[in-house]
Structure 1
Amino acid sequence: MVWLALLEVNHVYKTYTDANRSLTVLNDISLNVAKGEFVCLVGPSGSGKSTLLRMVVGLDRPSRGQIFYRGKQVSGVMDKMAIVFQSFALLPWLTVMENVALGLEAKNIPRAERERIANKYIQKVGLDGFEDAYPRELSRGMKQRVGIARALTMEPELLCMDEPFSALDAFTAQNLREELLDLWLDVTLPVKSVLMVTHGIEEAVFMADRVIVLSKRPARILADVRIDLPRPRNMKDEAFARVTDKIYSLLF
């Protein structure tokens, strides 16, 4: 059987229950991410975007519904998917090389091989020369490069990103957006598709092929907006403004 989508999210609900209350965060979410697509999730704060992303990569489970990767149900962390966190999530006692190679070490890959792979992606994200540096010696932008390199060492087909640029200054964030697009378009890398959570509508329109708009909690899908703008995109173009205004009108 041929699967047209790398990722399929089918009628997913997420409800948190304790002794005093029940809180539904996601309400019947269905979406696909095809091979070669860059998809962004936008929505109000607290709408469950990050929760959905964690379920996609197997770090959490739906209360109802199913998630499939290449036709196989996601029931835990799977090969060929990786995630980049907003908070960098670096271990302060490890060097850049050791942080980047961490996932490879967990897979019991021999040291020489994991350092070879880690070094490849350290160079890809522009951190060559910082292999022996510690997180405290790095800027925020450099820390996020380490996070991206660490995800890439897993050689994922689907790269998931949870607000990866929100903790950065505007100049650094824009540079990293452009570099990420270059990495996604690099045919020598394994990444085929990206699913990214963002609060920034302009950021989503700048990067994505499709923008999936979630409502406030309990989140449902308000729209799936295809971005038919040529790359590279200019945030000052009238066509760009029309698309962002359309998405803003759905949310506000």
Structure 2
Amino acid sequence: MEVGIKDQMVTNSILEAEGIYFSYDNGYDVFENINIEAGQGKFIAIIGPSGIGKSTLLRILGGFLKPDRGTVRLLGKPLYEPIPEVALIHQSIVTFPWMDAKENVMLSMKTKDMSKNEMVEKAKESLSRVGLDGFEDLYPKEMSGGMRQRVAIARAFAADPYVFLMDEPFAHLDELTAEGLRQDIYNILFSGETPLKSVIMVSHNLTEVLELADEIYILNNIPATVVGKVEVTMARPRNPRSDEFNANLDMLYSYLTPPRKKK
């Protein structure tokens, strides 16, 4: 019985991975023929059992790791190395303690042809976008964990990326802070006020995934493959306490069996 999730092909590709194979230096095979597409205006989630390689895949998608075989493309062009158009937000909150909020944000603009005054103004604009208007002079030690994560996200926005890669972005926040930040971030991501076109997030938190994602890729097996792809059709905003939400959640959990080594 369908409860809001259905198979769906992705079109209008912004970032895609085709035929990705990857092994560690010790010969351990991590991925086998991974194919993923992030379409225009889509929030993509990648889930799978712990240790399956979700964060590693995100680094391949961002050009930080080179696959053994296969290609990553941004807007149809091969991606071989990290570029400002693809921003990675780590699960650990990365802010530099000797810099205030605006200086942390300005780091992402160092390669741009901008004056210092222009960078300061853009940093303030990016901080305002994530709800930190008036906090640009605070140092990380003066901020809560949620505020520091907002600074990290503002820094990514300031680079004017086409794609956000988010690695467990809310993992180290308390649930109340994470819930508010999730809603704010989704609204900002596709507001039309930035060049952002797609988001890819990896997470072990299926409630978080179901609340945010338009499409979900499921990884499993050893080496990991895409064993399922689903589209979330529930209307927004999504209520995690609703019967429909919990029925969808049960369906997602059914995919997360322990990985089995392929013969």
Q: TM-score, normalised by structure 2?
A: 0.90
- Hey, what does 1:65 align to over in structure 2? 70
How many pairs align? 247
Paired residues for 1:158-173 under 5 Å: 158-173=163-178
**Long gaps (5+) in structure 1:** none
Moved over 3 A (4+): none
The superposition leaves residues 153-209 of structure 1 with CA deviations (integer Å, 9 ceiling, x where unpaired) of 011121111100000000000000000111023122222211011111111111000
CA RMSD of aligned residues (A): 1.4
In the aligned structure 2, how far is the partner of 1:219 from the partner of 1:8?
A: 17
Q: Do 1:163 and 1:196's aligned partners in 2 also have CA atoms closer than 8 Å?
A: yes
Q: Does 1:25 align with 2:30?
A: yes
**Percent identity between the aligned chains?**
38
For 2:6, the equivalent position in structure 1 comes to none
- Using the alignment, how far apart are the partners of 2:51 and 2:42 within structure 1? 25
1:239–1:65 Cα change, 3 Å: same
Please give the alpha-carbon distance, in whole angstroms, between the structure 2 residues aligned to 1:137 and 1:108: 31
Match of residue 42 from structure 1: 47
* 2:133 is aligned with 1:128: yes
| 2:120 is the alignment partner of 1:115 | yes
- Per the alignment, residue 4 of structure 2 pairs with none
Structure 2 residue matching 1:52: 3-state secondary structure: helix
Structure 2 counterpart of 1:124, one-letter code: R
Shift of 1:217: 4.1
The CA deviation string for residues 196-244 of structure 1, in whole angstroms up to 9 with x for no partner, is 1111111111100011111154211111011000000011112211211
1:93 corresponds to 2:98: yes
The answer as to whether partners of 2:17 and 2:71 remain within 8 angstroms in 1 is: yes
Q: 1:90 to 1:106 in 2, by over 3 A?
A: farther
AA in 2 matched with 1:103? S
CA offset at residue 28 of structure 1?
1.3
TM-superposed deviation, 1:106: 3.8
Q: Separation in 2 of the partners of 1:50 and 1:216?
A: 16
- Secondary structure (helix, strand or coil) at the match of 2:36 reads strand
Letter in 2 for 1:12: I
**Inter-partner Cα distance in structure 2 for 1:217 and 1:173:** 32
1:12 counterpart residue number: 20
- Report the residue type matching 1:5 in the other structure: S
Code of the aligned partner of 1:113: E
